[in-house]
Amino acid sequence: MTLKDLADIMFPDVTLTVDEIEKRYPERDLEEGAEVTRFAPSPTGFVHMGSLLSAFQDFKLAKDTKGIFYLRIEDTDTLRTVENGISGIISDLANFDIYPDEGMISETESIGNYGPYIQSERKKIYHAYAKYLVEKGLAYPCFCSKESLDETRKIQELNKERIGYYGSYARCRTLSVDEAYEKIKNGEEFVVRFKSMGDFNNKITLNDRMRGKIEFPENDMDIVIIKSNDKLPTYHFAHAIDDHLMHTTTVMRGEEWIPSYPIHHDLFKTLGFKEPLYAHLGLVLKIDENGTRRKLSKRKDPEASVSFYHEKGIPPEATKLYLMTIANSNFEEWFLSNPTGKLTDFKMDFSKMSESGSLFDVEKLFNISKNYISRMTSQELYDKSLPWMEEYDKELFELMKKYSDYTKAIFNIERGGEKPRKDYASFSDIRGGIWYMYDELFKDVNYEYQKVTDIDEIKKILNLYFNEYYDINDDKDTWFSKMKEMTEKLGYASNMKDYKKNPENYKGNVADISTVIRVSITSRSQTPDLYEILKLLGIDRIKTRINMIK
């Protein structure tokens, strides 16, 4: 029996050759320096914050370099697969405007020429490479039972030796081709193991793009490359084959993969593949109530789930700005000096990533979002918040649609200019800031009167003001002078300095008067510019509102 016979009986269905496959995945035609990156989740139905950060960084690197970012679904661990688990991932990414250039675009469809982009559909490809390795004597079938492997592990633990399938512990490595062939012919179950030529006493170095040089002993483990039950590849083998064929240039993945690097190095070398560059990303952390750093937890922290941002109505661009601040330590400073700068103007830098993990701070995110929303035009805010309202606040959605110009005019109050008003950290804050501008919502309100609460005094102020002073056509200066004039007439101070010197001489001051007007018209003691609000409401609606006060 030859190795070829053994390979044939191990993979009777494989007809594809490695050469044929290689031809189907030619070099990509990209500009010099263009990076090919991928997001490679299991189809678990959702993306959590840590993976979103890594998907964002993959996406960003590809965009920064005019490269390709693709979505590959890694479903070789069937335990992690859920029904419709791909769509959930795609829609989570889409909520942040992260659209892959290639890869899965729905549960079953994909775009791009380097597919299939779902590992279970690439079985034939993995088998062809595994068969090729067997033919070359670089892989072999292993028949060791779980019990015998457990036994080996116990001995290794007892002897304080390295755990694994290597050296004299790699029992099936020394089976003759005839013996192995016979066992398969007799229907014995087997896995396929890689035959490592490595020596544990040699050193290899990973030049991680973010962590720099990391030294390891060479791999000498005969790791499983094809599993026995479903004949699917292990992560290690699929990683090597896929990232080679799809021409990934930089693999960004969690730091938990660092110890596996020697295996990957061994596989790439043996298969004759060019190794991609690696960046092993740190964890996403948060500071706990008691000041300690801990991993962001899906169970404890609502912000760990990416649906949180969509449900709250944080604009995707704001979340991405935030992700950039935790990805690169120099981004925040850049953004402060370029407050209107776009993410596309900033290039991601591996040397500015934190090895020890990215600290997640929701308050900071809200701040960024507040700034971001404050810089939108009223039209932009209207266009971007409307779909969110349709999903989460139908009532306000209908009003915003019915009174679209009016709504944009409301949004426009104190917007634009150097120091725009920062009211909204998310679209879910909008209702609280504008509801009183719609008569449909201005019912059974709770008036937040402050200093002046006597209803007769309030009525007196309102009647005098709206009957004798207020003129909708006044410009802002005239409007304010008139307000002061009336203030004095009523025995309140129009000048704050005078008031502060001798408060006992006055009933109150001009701020108390404007608060009475503000609260009477809106019910709120804090609103954007009163002059603009009065203008937008118009005198008829103002009068109706005054009549509502009992």
* Part of the chain binding ligand GLU (CB under 6 A), chosen from 247-255, 366-374, 419-427, 432-440: 247-255
Nearer to ligand GLU, 41 or 433 (CB): 41
Q: Footprint of ligand GLU on residues 2-61 (CB under 6 A)?
A: 40-42
**Burial state string for 350-384 with b = 16 or more CB within 10 A and e = fewer than 16:** beebbeebbbbbbeebbebbbbbbbebebeebbeb
Maximum distance among all Cα pairs of the chain, rounded to whole angstroms:
113
Nearer to ligand GLU, 127 or 264 (CB): 264
Q: What is the DSSP letter of 118?
A: B
* Part of the chain binding ligand GLU (CB under 6 A), chosen from 246-254, 450-458, 497-505, 516-524: 246-254
Q: How far is the CB of 329 from ligand GLU (least distance, A)?
A: 23
Nearer to ligand GLU, 211 or 312 (CB): 211
- The answer to whether residues 13 and 7 touch, using CB atoms and an 8 Å cutoff, is no
Is 422 strand, coil or helix? Answer: coil
- 74 belongs to the binding site for ligand GLU (CB under 6 A): yes
Q: How far is the CB of 74 from ligand GLU (least distance, A)?
A: 4
Nearer to ligand GLU, 40 or 314 (CB): 40
Q: How far is the CB of 251 from ligand GLU (least distance, A)?
A: 6
Complete DSSP assignment for 87-117: HHHHHHHHTTT---SEEESSSS-EESSS---
Q: How far is the CB of 36 from ligand GLU (least distance, A)?
A: 13
* Part of the chain binding ligand GLU (CB under 6 A), chosen from 251-259, 408-416, 440-448, 488-496: 251-259
Nearer to ligand GLU, 40 or 458 (CB): 40
d(CA 358, CA 328): 9
Q: Footprint of ligand GLU on residues 430-469 (CB under 6 A)?
A: none
Q: Which of these, 15, 246, 220, lies nearest to 114 by C-alpha position?
A: 246
d(CA 158, CA 219): 22
d(CA 312, CA 234): 39
Q: How far is the CB of 220 from ligand GLU (least distance, A)?
A: 23
d(CA 200, CA 262): 10
The single residue among 209, 239, 310, 312 that binds ligand GLU, judged by CB under 6 A, is: 239
Q: How many residues form the binding site for ligand GLU (CB under 6 A)? A: 8
Nearer to ligand GLU, 239 or 244 (CB): 239
What is the token pair recorded at 521?
Answer: 């018209």
Q: How far is the CB of 253 from ligand GLU (least distance, A)?
A: 4
Nearer to ligand GLU, 41 or 528 (CB): 41
Nearer to ligand GLU, 41 or 103 (CB): 41
Q: Footprint of ligand GLU on residues 473-512 (CB under 6 A)?
A: none
Q: Which of these, 146, 148, 42, 166, lies nearest to 104 by C-alpha position?
A: 42
The DSSP bridge pattern shows strands 203-208 and 191-194 to be unpaired
Q: How far is the CB of 35 from ligand GLU (least distance, A)?
A: 15
Length of the chain: 550
Mutual orientation of helices 85-94 and 49-64 as an angle, nearest 10°? Answer: 60
Residues that bind ligand GLU (CB under 6 A): 40-42, 74, 239, 251, 253-254
